[in-house]
Amino acid sequence: MHIKDHDLLKLIQLYFKGIGSISLNGKTKVQFRVTSMKDLEFVIDHFNKFPLITQKYSDFKLFEMAFLAMKMKKHFTLDGLTYIASLKAVMNLGLSDVLKFS
């Protein structure tokens, strides 16, 4: 998000009981990251209770599928990793050039 939205991200972090981190990304961008599986599950539960009403709902469901696959340790197998990459391929803007090459 644009750096002017930093306070908004702080409110979101506070709403989610302080989980995640907020950091600068370049000079004009700021990002909110949640990296622990436990904390991600908390956020996923929230969006299952209060679903998004936009195209992002589909992306969220794909993200949730990838999360569940990782929770079941499927990302440690080639098939599981391929499955997660295929989910990423249809989310947002698809695969990055680096992932396509890999």
Give the SS3 label for residue 13. Answer: helix
- Considering only CA atoms, which of 61, 62, 60 is closest in space to residue 89? 62
Looking at the structure, tell me whether residues 17 and 51 fall in a common domain. Answer: no
The whole domain housing 86 covers 36-102
* pLDDT tens, residue by residue, 57-86: 989 999 999 999 999 999 999 999 999 999
Distance from chain centroid for Cα 80: 18
pLDDT score at 44: 97
Looking at the structure, tell me whether residues 21 and 45 fall in a common domain. Answer: no
Looking at the structure, tell me whether residues 11 and 59 fall in a common domain. Answer: no
* Residue 55: pLDDT band with limits 50, 70, 90: confident
Cα(96)–Cα(40) distance, integer angstroms: 23
Q: What is the pTM of this model?
A: 0.80
Looking at the structure, tell me whether residues 50 and 99 fall in a common domain. Answer: yes
Q: Average pLDDT for residues 6-15, to the nearest whole number? A: 96
Of all residues in the chain, the percent with pLDDT exceeding 70 is 90
Looking at the structure, tell me whether residues 91 and 63 fall in a common domain. Answer: yes
Measured in degrees and rounded to the nearest 5, phi and psi for residue 27 equal -90, -25
Looking at the structure, tell me whether residues 20 and 53 fall in a common domain. Answer: no
